[in-house]
Chains A and B, each alone.
Chain A
Amino acid sequence: MRAVTGAGILFRTFLRRDLLTVLWWTIGVTVLYWSQAVSVDGLYATQAEFDKAAASMEQNAAFIAMAGPARALNTTGGQVAWQATAFGAVLVGLMSMFLVGRHTRVEEETGRDELVRSGAIGRHAPMTAALAVTLLANAVVGLVTSGALLGYGLPAAGSWAIGLGLFLVGACFTGVALVAAQLTQGARAMYGIVGAVIGTAYALRAIGDVAENGLSWLSPIGWYQAMRPYADESWWPSLLLLAGFAVSVLASYVVFGRRDVGSGVWAARPGPARAGRDLRSGLGLAWRLHRGSLWGWSLGLFLGGLGYGSIGDDVGDLLGDSDTTREVLAAGAADLVDGFYGAAGVMLALIAGGYAVSASLRARGEEDSGRVESLLATGLSRTTWFVGHSLIAVLGTVVVVLASGVGLGLGYAAVTGEWDRFAHVAVAPVSAGAGALVLIGLTVLLVGLVPRWATAAWLGLGFCVVVMMFGPLLKLPDWLVDVSPFSHLALVPAESFAAGPYAAVLAVGAALLAAGVVALRRRDVH
């Protein structure tokens, strides 16, 4: 046991650092499952309506690819298992990846691990403590989720299967993360590997579920869904998850025993000794810093658009005859399909707002980390530097919004075969996207005026989300709703594009942005 001496102390230290993080993940995952139950029960007034909607969903290959095999869809439990398990598994996978990463690879990268290891600590203690903490976090997520579903009144066996499966699929990805942590020297590369494994697991089950060719049996997420929660539970697939966990953890311990602390099995690859042509200006550097996240967001929003679009004309079946559904999901529009895509456009534009805020905050990140000092001590003026970052945020937001629109149009046209309606659907996020540009203006102004509080820009996005998603339900006063730029933009294609308000919203965004640049020119940089 000398190899794990001190693991107990480390376990308690890690736990203290992780308490809040695990709490948020637990809340997030639990709400994902629980809200499905609530929303399903709110959508359908009668069982007949429910049966009809379920029958149409079972036929939709896009839904099955996104969620999983369709089982018992005319029950609340069946709907919860269908809509939440795939995403729930991805979430616990990501949680496990971040927890393992922060206590292994990140610690080694920052050199803190070395300090810890100089104490009376066994060779395998940090890793073992990280494993224990992550397993505990997954157990908590599983238990609380089961508890919430039981509390909601769903059948006991299914609720326990949901929680147990979550725990085990999380444990399985914990093992994967531990193996990945041995391979690379950098934490980011490790996250890349685990992300790719989770993505592959999701894709394998998507293909397998649609084609029914058995590929789902190669995926831990598939094993989880094979436990059939709320649909005549089957418990033996949990053994597959357990085996996956055991094999990967064992492998990680063996590999760890053969490598040096601080390095990975794969040696860090050297980079270019000279800068390329791109690194010639402030804008060039800004582009280099932004491009990775821009491609990520573009791809994500393209796939999001594709997902919405692939629902096609089935909107009517999906919504059933309930008035509440029509109000919430189709903005009460006369043409249900157009109304749905109008609402989807706003949703995608709000997500693009997330990119807009994070991209606009990058300049502040550069300042906060002290890197900007070296830059501004060169011939690069602070205006050029800041405008460069803001320009990329603006153009990047345009790209992200367009990607979501193209995805939406493609998904719709591919499912319905109505290619002539591609543009009709694709423009939906473009109209609402002007609101995201106002969020850039807000963020830039905060960075220019009150840099320490710049992250408050996220509250601006949060406010817009609340107003747009829950405004009618919460019966917010008109003046408050009007503060959100998204409220003024036409719900294309349900409403026709309104150029006046569109230009006005853009003008407000531009004015805020200009004010932010002027403010930054006048303040201290530090």
Chain B
Amino acid sequence: MGNVIEIAGLVKKFGATTALDHLDLEVSTGEVHGFLGPNGAGKSTTIRVLLGLLRADAGTATLLGGDPWREAAALHRRLAYVPGDVNLWPNLTGGEVIDLLGRLRGGLDEKRRADLLDRFELDPTKKGRTYSKGNRQKVALVAALASDVELLMLDEPTSGLDPIMESVFQSCIDEFRDEGRSVLLSSHILAEVERLCDRVSIIRAGRIVESGTLADLRHLTRTAVSAQLAADPHGLDSLVGLHGLVVEGRRVEFEVDSARLGDALARLGEFGILTLTSQPPTLEELFLRHYGDEVDTSEPEDEADS
């Protein structure tokens, strides 16, 4: 199990603004890796460096074992990319674009092409200018998924899809992973990441602030607990990692660091638990913990989005 993507200390500046500030990222073979962050955090810039479109100012990036800048074309035959904002040639039909991109990647799987067109309900005979945003995205998705590649790089690929198409997309990604292949999925749709990803990296202001499996990350968060006890509790406030403790007679409510959940429940057990509800942390809470409280206005703009 090697890594399909390895980035260490990556720096990318656009004039005076720093888009990527010593970014580290690892995506291992066979995993779907969620790349989470709000607009402008540097997701697209990272992907463009990996695609050899942008040149890094410092740090190293390895893609499929090669140098993304110098070996771009050769590496690209082994991956497929779906941009967040798909622009098509106004005079080319969707079918022509799918074939063109597939051929430039070294051929596509005819059977899968037909199957994907069917599943995404895409009409390949329409001209590029007449497609809606969602349909343009489908064209890029079909082109990418119909190619026989090792790695998919998807930059917010579902922002224009309806819920039905989103679930088609999700099952396609599942199938892709089941064949042992890897995906880097940049997104800010947390439900999608929770549903699809094995591991997640959260980017903020050009740096990775959190990285790991969803279970790892949940470990870092708090679980909300409320319980009805058989006896009056005492000494709960001496527990490590407990927050916002409210005791009303035999009713208690608190939040506890997920790593300390076991200790807290063991203590509650001493008083006899009648009812218990616990709310596991969601990715959303995790996300908000990094972004919600403090709004950092000096965040660099992702210039590559322009």
Contacts and interface: CB of A to CB of B under 8 A. Distances in A.
A288 B100 CA distance: 12
Contacts of B53: 373, 376-377, 524-526
A248 to B, nearest CB: 27
B104 A274 contact: no
A380 B99 contact: no
Most chain A beta carbons < 10 A, residue from B97, B104, B105, B130: B104
A381 B99 contact: no
Nearest to B95: A273
Nearest to A381: B73
A273 B83 contact: no
A271 B139 CA distance: 15
Interface size class on chain B is 35 or more
Contact of B86 (A185, A374, A380): A374
Given A271-B126, A274-B96, A289-B89, A279 B103 contact: yes
A373 B81 CA distance: 9
B54 interface: yes
Contact of A272 (B93, B130, B306): B93
A271 B127 contact: yes
Interface string B64-90: 000000001110110111010111111
Contacts of A435: none
Interface string B281-299: 0000000000000000000
B89 A377 contact: no
A495 B108 CA distance: 58
A271 B105 contact: no
Given A270-B126, A375-B104, A275 B81 contact: no
A371 B52 contact: no
B77 A379 contact: yes
Interface in B91-120: 91-93, 95-101, 103-106
A281 B87 CA distance: 19
Interface in A26-42: none
Given A274-B96, A371-B87, A268 B130 contact: yes
Contacts of A378: 76-77, 101, 104-105
A523 B105 contact: no
Contacts of A375: 101, 104
Contacts of B140: 374
B104 A370 contact: no
Contacts of A271: 92-93, 95-96, 125-127
A118 interface: no
Most chain A beta carbons < 10 A, residue from B77, B87, B306: B87
Given A369-B87, A524-B55, A186 B129 contact: yes
Contacts of A274: 95-96, 99, 124
A235 B77 CA distance: 70
A377 B84 CA distance: 13
Interface in B23-72: 48, 51-55, 72
Contacts of A9: none
B93 A377 contact: no
B103 A280 contact: yes
B304 interface: yes
Most chain A beta carbons < 10 A, residue from B53, B88, B106: B53
Nearest to B107: A379
Contacts of A523: 55
Interface residues of A, number: 38
A382 interface: yes
A370 B87 contact: yes
A246 interface: no
Interface in A101-129: 109
A518 interface: no
A275 B99 contact: yes
A208 interface: no
Contacts of A280: 100, 103
Nearest to A275: B99
A68 to B, nearest CB: 36
A498 interface: no
Contact of A381 (B72, B83, B93): B72
Interface in A371-401: 371, 373-382, 384
A480 interface: no
A320 interface: no
A285 B81 contact: no
Nearest to B72: A381
Given A376-B72, A378-B101, A526-B54, A272 B95 contact: yes
Contacts of B85: 370
A524 B77 CA distance: 21
Contacts of A371: 87-89
Contacts of B304: 526
A175 B239 CA distance: 83
A109 B128 CA distance: 12
A524 B54 CA distance: 4
A283 to B, nearest CB: 11
A282 interface: yes
B16 to A, nearest CB: 16
Contacts of B81: 373-374, 377
A185 B104 contact: no
Contacts of B76: 376-380
A91 to B, nearest CB: 26
A282 to B, nearest CB: 7
Nearest to A384: B73
A48 to B, nearest CB: 57
Most chain A beta carbons < 10 A, residue from B51, B55, B96, B129: B96
A524 to B, nearest CB: 5
A526 B48 contact: yes
A274 B103 CA distance: 12
Contact of A380 (B48, B73, B89, B153): B73
Contacts of B101: 374-375, 378
Contacts of A188: 90
Interface in A473-526: 522-526
17 contacts: A109-B129, A185-B130, A270-B126, A275-B98, A281-B104, A285-B89, A288-B92, A374-B101, A375-B104, A377-B51, A377-B153, A378-B77, A379-B106, A381-B73, A382-B72, A384-B73, A523-B55
Given A186-B130, A369-B87, 19 more contacts: A185-B130, A268-B126, A270-B123, A271-B127, A275-B100, A275-B103, A288-B92, A374-B86, A374-B87, A376-B72, A377-B51, A377-B79, A377-B81, A378-B101, A379-B77, A379-B106, A380-B76, A526-B304, A526-B306
Interface of A: 109, 185-186, 188, 268, 270-276, 279-282, 285, 288-289, 369-371, 373-382, 384, 522-526
